[in-house]
Structure 1
Amino acid sequence: MREGALHDGAGRLLDPGYATREVRRYDRAAISAEPVRIKEWDYYCILDADFGLALTVADNGYAGFLGVSWMDLRGKGFVNHGALIPAPMGAMALPPSADSGDIVHAQDGLELAFRHERGGRRLTVHAPGYDEGRGLSGEIWLGQPDMDRMVIATPFADDPHAFYYNQKINCMPARGRVKIGGESYDFAPENAFAVLDWGRGVWTYDNVWYWGSASGLVDGCPFGFNIGYGFGDTSAASENMLFVDGRAHKLDQVAFHMPAGAPDSGPWRFTSNDGRFELDFAPAVNRWAKVDAGMIKTEQDQVFGWFSGRVILDDGTPMQVRDLPGFAEKVWNRW
C-alpha cells in the first residue's frame, strides 16, 4: 500500500494490500454503507507464560461492547466479563488512527481506557462486577519502540463496499499490575508482551476467520508473529508476518491444522506453502463464547497456549521457537 486515503469518492478501497506502518487514512464518513454495518474495535491482549489479560472496546453498529477477560494458562481457566452498549452506530467515536486518539468508555460499572502517552500506551480497567463480584482492576503500561507492524486493507469480492482495514502491533513490552479479588498479578517487560488488534471495516454477513498471534523473546531478541486468513479477497496480500527486533519479515500463505476434537483437546500444527513457518501449538485454555440472537450469531474459540518450532527470516536465517506464549483462534460470525 501507498500513502493516501483508504477509500475513493464512491466508498471503494483504493489500494488493497499490506504495509508495515499506517499509510492509509481511515475516514468513517467516506464509507459507503449504512452505519449499522460498520464495525470498529480496539482489542489488546497481554500475555506472559502463565497469565493473560484481554481488553476490548468495540462499536459493531447494532451493538457496542466493552470486554475484559482473564486467562490462567497453567490453571487452564478463564473468566469473561462485559457490558453491551445498545446501537452506538459510531457514537462511541473510536479513533480513525491506531497511533492517536484516546478511548475512554464506561457501561454498567465497567470502565476501560486506552490512552496514548509518549513512548507507549496506558491501559486501565475497572470491573467491580467481574467474576460475580470478585472484581478486577489494573493498569498496564505498554512500551512501543519504533518497529514494524502488520497493516492490511482487504476487499470482499461479492460486495464492492465491504472491506477490512486492520493493524496488528505485536511485541509491545508490558509492565503493570492486575488485582482480582484479594490477589495481585504483575506483568514485567522481561517476559510479558502485548498485541493490539485494531480493526475498522464493513463486513459481509457470514464469515469464518482464523487468527494466530504471539510475542516474546527468542534468544533474547524481541520476536513475534501474526498469521491469519479465511475472509475477504486476499489476492493482493496475506496478513502473515514475522517480527524480529522491530523488523517485519513477510510470509506468504499459512495453514491452520486444528485437532479433530475440541479446539483445546490436542496440539495444533501450522504450516506454510514456502516452508518458512512450521510450528506446533500446545493448547492450555480455550476462551470460548457463543451468541445466538436470531440474525446475529457468533461462535468463538480463542485458544491460548505455547508455540514451538522453526521459522525462516527473509534472508534465509532459521530461528528456533520454544514455548512462546500466544493464541490461535477460529471465529464464525453472522453479523
Structure 2
Amino acid sequence: PNLRGWGRKKRWEYWGLVSETHLVGLTIASLDYAGLLHIYVLDRRDGSHFSEERVLPFGIGVRLDDTLEPGRAEALGRLKMAFIEEEIAREANGRRQTRIVAEGKRIQVDAVATSRGEALGVVVPWSDVRFQYTLKDVARTLEGTVRIDEEEITLQGDSCFAVLDRGRGKWPRQIVWNWAAGFGVIGGRSIGLQLGGKWTDETGSTENAIFVDGKLHHLSEAMRWEYQRSDPKGTWRIRSEHIDAALTPFHLRHEKTDLWLIRSETHQAFGTWKGVARLEEGEEISLDGLIGWAEEASHLW
C-alpha cells in the first residue's frame, strides 16, 4: 500500500502535552482537500478551556512528510506549529526527540519531547486500497515552556509528559474510533497506557499496548469499552483478558465540526486511571493514578 493519488489520504501529527496544571492538544492534519490546525487548552485547576482552529483549503501551508519517521511537520500562517525531529540527539542516545513549537492567539509552546524507549507502530488494513499506519508513543518526557496569556508554565519532572499520535493512510469516507492514553510513574517505574477500538474491528490489527520503563508489551485482543459519553462524571471502563482499566473524568470535552465536506464529533474525557494490566509473562502492573484520557470520535471526511 502507498499514499499515491489524491482525495482519500489523511495525514496527521498530534501531540498531547500534560503538566500538573494544564493539558494541551496540538494537531496538524492534511485531508488532501483541506488542512486542519487545532489547539486545545485545558486548565486543570479550574476547568477553564479554549481552542483555536484554522482550515486551510487544499492544505496550503501544511507540510507532513510520508517517511516512516518524518523529519518535520509544520503549518505556517496565523496559527503556527512545527514538530521537528532532532536527529543528532536521537543518534546520540538511541532515542527519539522532537522539538515542539506552536504560536496561537493566546498560547505559545516551546518544548522538547524525548522517548523513553519503544513506540507502537501498526498498519490497519480495511481493504486493498484503504489502510492506516498509526504510531503511538504515549510516555515521552517533556521539558520546556508553555505560555498562556500572561502565565508561563515550566514543563519538567515526572508529572509532565507528551503523547504522540502519528497517522498516515487512505481512509473510508466515514469512521468511528475509540482511543485511550495515560502515563505515570508508579513505584519508580514509568507506565504508559495505549488502547484503541472500533476502527480496528475485523481488521486483524489492534493498537493496544502497555509500556513499562520504555518496553512495549503489545496486547493483540480487542477491548470492551463501556461509557456514557454525555455524562461528565461517568466512568470510562475498558476491559479484556489482560486489562481492567477505568478512567474517572475531571473534564469532558465535546466538539463538533460541520464544514461542508468535513463533519466530525468528539467526546473526550480527561481524568485519572485506576486498574490493572496483566502482562503475558504473568506480571500485574498497577494503573492507579495514571493521568490521561479516553475518547470517542466520529468523522465524515
**Counterpart in the other structure of 1:28:** 3
Unaligned stretches of 5+ residues in structure 2: 91-96
Is 1:71 the counterpart of 2:42? The answer is yes
Is 1:155 the counterpart of 2:135? The answer is no
- Given candidates 277, 297, 300, the residue that maps to 1:331 is 297
Q: CA deviation at 1:332?
A: 0.8
Tell me the distance in 2 between the aligned counterparts of 1:172 and 1:263. 30
Is 1:249 the counterpart of 2:217? The answer is yes
- Given candidates 188, 196, 201, the residue that maps to 1:220 is 188
Q: CA deviation at 1:104?
A: 2.7
Tell me the distance in 1 between the aligned counterparts of 2:65 and 2:54. 20
- Given candidates 227, 235, 242, the residue that maps to 1:267 is 235
Is 1:305 the counterpart of 2:280? The answer is no
* Matched-pair identity in %: 26
What is the one-letter code of the residue matched to 1:94? L
**Counterpart in the other structure of 2:109:** 138
Aligned pairs, how many? Answer: 292
Whether the 8 Å CA contact 2:113–2:140 is kept in 1: the answer is: yes
**Counterpart in the other structure of 1:113:** 82
* TM-score for the superposition, normalised by structure 2: 0.91
**Counterpart in the other structure of 1:126:** 103
Whether the 8 Å CA contact 2:84–2:98 is kept in 1: the answer is: yes
Tell me the distance in 1 between the aligned counterparts of 2:57 and 2:79. 15
Whether the 8 Å CA contact 1:42–1:198 is kept in 2: the answer is: yes
**Counterpart in the other structure of 1:198:** 166
What is the one-letter code of the residue matched to 1:219? G
What is the one-letter code of the residue matched to 2:111? I
Q: CA deviation at 1:293?
A: 3.2
Whether the 8 Å CA contact 2:126–2:203 is kept in 1: the answer is: no
What is the one-letter code of the residue matched to 1:313? L
What is the one-letter code of the residue matched to 2:239? T
Tell me the distance in 2 between the aligned counterparts of 1:81 and 1:244. 34
What is the one-letter code of the residue matched to 2:194? N
Which consecutive segments of 4 or more residues in structure 1 shift more than 6 A? none
Q: Alpha-carbon deviations, 1:179-204, whole Å to 9, x = none?
A: 11111122213211111100011111
Q: Alpha-carbon deviations, 1:275-304, whole Å to 9, x = none?
A: x21111111112221012344311111221
What SS is found at the alignment partner of 2:292?
Answer: strand
Q: CA deviation at 1:257?
A: 0.7
| Cα distance change of structure 1 residues 100 and 245 upon mapping to structure 2, 3 Å threshold | same
Is 1:279 the counterpart of 2:245? The answer is yes
Q: How does 1:157-176 map to 2 (within 5 A)?
A: 157=127, 160-176=128-144
Whether the 8 Å CA contact 2:62–2:76 is kept in 1: the answer is: no
- Given candidates 64, 67, 73, the residue that maps to 1:97 is 67
Unaligned stretches of 5+ residues in structure 1: 1-6, 8-26, 130-134
* TM-score for the superposition, normalised by structure 1: 0.82
**Counterpart in the other structure of 1:14:** none
- Given candidates 173, 186, 200, the residue that maps to 2:154 is 186
| Cα distance change of structure 1 residues 115 and 188 upon mapping to structure 2, 3 Å threshold | same
Moved more, 292-301 or 307-316: 292-301
Is 1:84 the counterpart of 2:55? The answer is yes
Q: Alpha-carbon deviations, 1:86-126, whole Å to 9, x = none?
A: 1128x73311235341123212x211111111131110111
What is the one-letter code of the residue matched to 1:315? E
Is 1:62 the counterpart of 2:33? The answer is yes
